[in-house]
Amino acid sequence: MFSLTLCVVLLWCCVLTTYGEDQRPLSEYIKYYETLSYSTSALSKQHDRHRRSLNPKSNPILLNFEAHGRKFKIRLRRHTSIFSDDFVAENAEFDPSKIVEGEVLGHKRSIVHGFISDGIFEGKIHAGNDEFHVEPSNKYFQGKQPFHSVIYKSEDVHYPYAHGSGCGMREQTKKWMEKVHASEIKDPRLQFHYSDNEPVFHRYRRAASQEIDSLKKSCKLFMQADHLFTENVGQGNKERALLKMTEHVQAINTIYPGIAFFGSTPDKIEFVIARMLVNDSNHENDPSNPFRQSNIGVEKLLELNSQQKRNERYCLGYIFTYRDFNDGVLGLAWVGSPEDAGGICEKERSYSDGKKILNTGVVTFINYGKAVPQRVSEITFAHEVGHNFGSPHDESGACTPGGSEGNYIMFARATEGSKPNNRKFSSCSIEKMAAVMRVKAVCKDHKCCFEKAGAAICGNAVVEKDEECDCGFKEDESCQKDKCCEGAQDTKGCKLVDGKKCSPSQGLCCNEKTCEPHPGNFSFLCQNETECRNVSYCNGVNASCPLAPAKPNLTPCMEGRKLCENGSCSASVCKAKGYLECQCSQEEKMCDLCCDISKDPTKPDCKPTSDIDGFEAMKQLPSAACDNFNGYCDVFLKCRKVDADGPLNRLRKKFLSKEAFLGYLAWIKKYWWAVVLMGVGLILLMAAFIKLCSVHTPSSNPNKKPARQLTLRRQQRLEEERNRRARQARGGPEGYPGPSYGNQPPPPYPGRDIEMRGHR
């Protein structure tokens, strides 16, 4: 028995060891990764030389490595524009020159951002349609490894809680926020100089008539980290906590500048960090630290952040934490409004329970007991900032397309962030945010919440204001091919070569050989036909490709599930009949495409298209919302409830998952001596068990003593005493009780035949 048990234990350990060496899964969420082991000393020397340069464009940092079947040639430089001119890092030593940005050489529209610490680059690489995350190996591996970094694609991130709560903006939270708004003690000085009797639409019109300063489009941030974030995400290092917060601001700066709030041209709204405050374990018991308690819920944490008076000086104030909030909540923020308190650019207001500044938000980096992937935390941050800008959750059919393109940033549930729409705002969100921007982004009495953005960056291959062209740096391959534009070199560059009319960096319609626009006689196709737009040809005037003409509205798209609207595949197919899209409540039809045929919002009549004349039976795409946004359609088009696993399956995943087994193996390797002691203890325990139980085991050996009964001694004595008393009551001796014959003598009796039995 013991030998069999020992063999099973040894076999299990061998299996774990083999699995750990061959597969080495990075985490429960990351399906595939590769390792990096470039020279950290060489990168550190380049970084030091670059930091000493007065001009951030000179002496760029070059980083070369191979991974995922391609060669990366990255050029980095200090990212100075991410910080404001008056930037302050409180109670921590921080070197802003560690923050870098750059591009991948050979990719025209590539972006690289992150930081360099101890000769190791950590950050994100956007190259074409691919996104890569680079992280240090010590985040996932214990002990020294032959590599210092890991790199993985965003599409290889599988987040099992992608349909969890994500944002904490639930009905209960909405009621709490409404209660806070209702308790406001009005102050006429804080009403945007509008009369309380003036209709809201008049306020919109008056605000819209004021111009938004095109130079003032930077939202200043006050970023805070509590002690839990520093200990876990920052690995106990304050500067690392500051670097990770900055990296997330860099990430949302790749999303918001591309939003066109007031037309078709992106408004290039960006975020700059003005102040940072980081707490560590020394502040855990500090009475002056409002975030010292570890058991604070998300609503209370948001309220505590809103009570910090310093937030009033900034566009937004955020706190990053590492608290596992209930129901899988990853973040919470006040929703901006054109007429009510909350969101960007808020000032201090009085409420029944004290003063607050409702320009705040909360983001946590742990969910269901696990650290969330970097990509998920970035999208969460962008989502909560979207609330501050005035966007509610996307809830209409047109703005929750799902399918292969995915849902947009403001979808109510958390997303993996791996699909194209996961990094975009829907038209519904942009419309709501634009309404807030028209009121709060304008300058009133020469006071502006938004401030002047950083100057254009010559050499980033993006043509910005005050630049005629931008092919990159002079030594780039793209600039070597572009004979029309002067590449960036020190303070020069980004100008057209004398006598040239355009550059290919300005758009597809510039002839790279003649440096003139292609002729406008429908000879040069610059945009292929899409589902909702026709082809587009160069017009012979501009270097950029003209916007392709939109196809007629209500043109079917997305395999007939959607209709074109103003050149975008965004309208529901229900609109063809004048209906609104809805979600069927019958369980077997929850993933059918349904329309409300009542045309009366008070009396909805939601039916699947299969039951409506003029429609074909259509199904939703996988990942589409269902059951009134409380679930999602799986690949089998069955509506899966959010958190449908249940507690037993959660326990199974927690203790029997691959990551758990790898954790057991790592523990065995680290505490091998404890495993040996436990093995010896197990052997001694089994020996003692056999010794104690052997005296009670019956044996056929006549030389052994009879087996003892498993009976308590006191109970045995009581049983013997009862038997003795019973014999005495029948009048027999204390030994065997003889038979009773009454008053007659014992046999034999005379005159009776006696049959003798026995041996003759």
One-character DSSP codes across 652-713 = HHHHHSHHHHHHHHHHHHHTHHHHHHHHHHHHHHHHHHHHHHHTTS--S-TTSPPPPPS--H
Question: Which phi and psi angles does 25 have, rounded to 5°?
Answer: -60, 135
Q: Other C-beta atoms within 10 Å of 456: how many? A: 16
Asked whether the beta carbons of 277 and 290 are under 8 A apart, the reply is: no
224 contacts: CB under 8 Å, gap ≥ 6: 276, 277, 278, 279, 291, 305, 308, 317, 318, 319, 320
The residue assigned the tokens 């587009």 is: 536
Q: What spatial distance separates the first Cα and last Cα of the chain, rounded to whole Å?
A: 57
How far, in whole angstroms, is CA 312 from its chain's centroid?
28
Strands 536-537 and 556-557: unpaired
Q: What is the Cα–Cα distance from 223 to 23, expressed in whole angstroms?
A: 38
Q: What is the Cα–Cα distance from 588 to 607, expressed in whole angstroms?
A: 12
Look up residue 620 and give its DSSP letter: P
Asked whether the beta carbons of 224 and 320 are under 8 A apart, the reply is: yes
CA angle, 445 as apex, 350 and 349 as ends, to 5°?
Answer: 5
Q: What is the Cα–Cα distance from 108 to 512, expressed in whole angstroms?
A: 15
Sheet holding 556-557, edge to edge: 556-557, 562-565, 568-572
CA angle, 40 as apex, 35 and 44 as ends, to 5°?
Answer: 145
Return the H-helix or E-strand segment holding 121. Answer: strand 120-127
Which residues pair with residue 496 across a beta bridge? 485
Q: Where are the beta strands (DSSP E) in 477-537?
A: 510-511, 516-517, 525-527, 536-537
Query: Which listed residue (270, 299, 378, 384) is catalytic?
Result: 384
Which residues pair with residue 184 across a beta bridge? 351
Half-sphere exposure of 152 (CA within 13 A, CB side): 22
Look up residue 448 and give its DSSP letter: -
Question: Which phi and psi angles does 412 have, rounded to 5°?
Answer: -65, -30
Tell me whether residue 383 is annotated as binding.
yes
The residue assigned the tokens 């690995």 is: 235
Nearest to 332, CA basis, from 302, 356, 292: 302
Helices 672-694, 658-670: axis angle to 10 degrees equals 90
Question: Which phi and psi angles does 406 have, rounded to 5°?
Answer: 80, 170
Instruction: Report cis status (omega within 30 of 0) of the bond before 733.
Output: no
CA angle, 581 as apex, 580 and 582 as ends, to 5°?
Answer: 115
384 is catalytic: yes
Tokens of 220: 């200043």
Nearest to 510, CA basis, from 541, 547, 464, 471: 541
Tokens of 291: 């975030």
Asked whether the beta carbons of 716 and 706 are under 8 A apart, the reply is: no
Return the H-helix or E-strand segment holding 434. Answer: helix 427-440
Tell me whether residue 393 is annotated as binding.
yes
Q: What is the Cα–Cα distance from 541 to 543, expressed in whole angstroms?
A: 7
Which residues make up each annotated binding site for Zn(2+)? 383, 387, 393
Active site residues: 384
Which residues make up each annotated binding site? 383, 387, 393
